[in-house]
Amino acid sequence: MNTMDRYPWSSHQGYLSDAKKWGWLYKDLVLSLFSDDKSLRRKRYREFVSSKSAEEISVILGKKKLPAMLGSKGFIERMRHMFSVEKRHTEVPESRSLTPDVERIRAVVCKSYNVTKETLTATRRGTANEARNVAVYLMTYLRGDSLEEIAREFRAATVSSVIERTKAMIVKDRVLRHRLEN
């Protein structure tokens, strides 16, 4: 028996299986790293996993809280960027770790709009704050944060209406749509 077979809560069995129950697991990218030939991918994956010593695997998998991903900071950021929206899954809490954190969203919005972080929490009745609205929208779209969490983060009382207004603006405003895609 392969050492990895002893860890039922890992994704290992999913990489080896075609069963529908593993449909949430994005396997293609990982398996493609082992071979361009689809018929060899799983075999080479199993060989790679088997080549690690049982002690190394036990140390990694024996931790109480495993990281969602292992790799350099740059690798993890690339994976977050590539898969965050497509693979967010309510039944897989760790999938949320693929999403950009609040600070990353703030930083990108501030850079895009050339504003300070304080601008994102500024409110003036009757005045639109597009940068703030976009940040609020991204918190919902990318992270799936609750309205309550977003309201606390951006000192906004009417988060749902901000999101709805922003969605409507995205449909009408090509420049805004392009800015969000970037």
Domain count, the chain: 2
pLDDT in tens, the chain (182 residues): 566 677 777 888 888 888 888 888 888 888 887 788 888 889 988 887 777 666 665 666 666 666 666 667 777 777 766 665 555 555 555 666 667 788 888 999 999 899 988 888 777 776 778 888 889 888 888 877 888 888 888 777 788 888 888 888 888 989 888 888 87
Give the amino acid at 102. V
pTM of the entire predicted model: 0.52
> By the 8 A CB rule, do 24 and 83 touch?
no
Note whether residue 93 is domain-resident: no
Domain identity same for 177 and 108:
yes
- The parent domain of residue 124 ranges over 102-181
Domain identity same for 174 and 107:
yes
- CA distance linking residue 173 with residue 167, whole number of Å: 10
Q: How is residue 1 written in tokens?
A: 């028996």
- CA distance linking residue 9 with residue 63, whole number of Å: 13
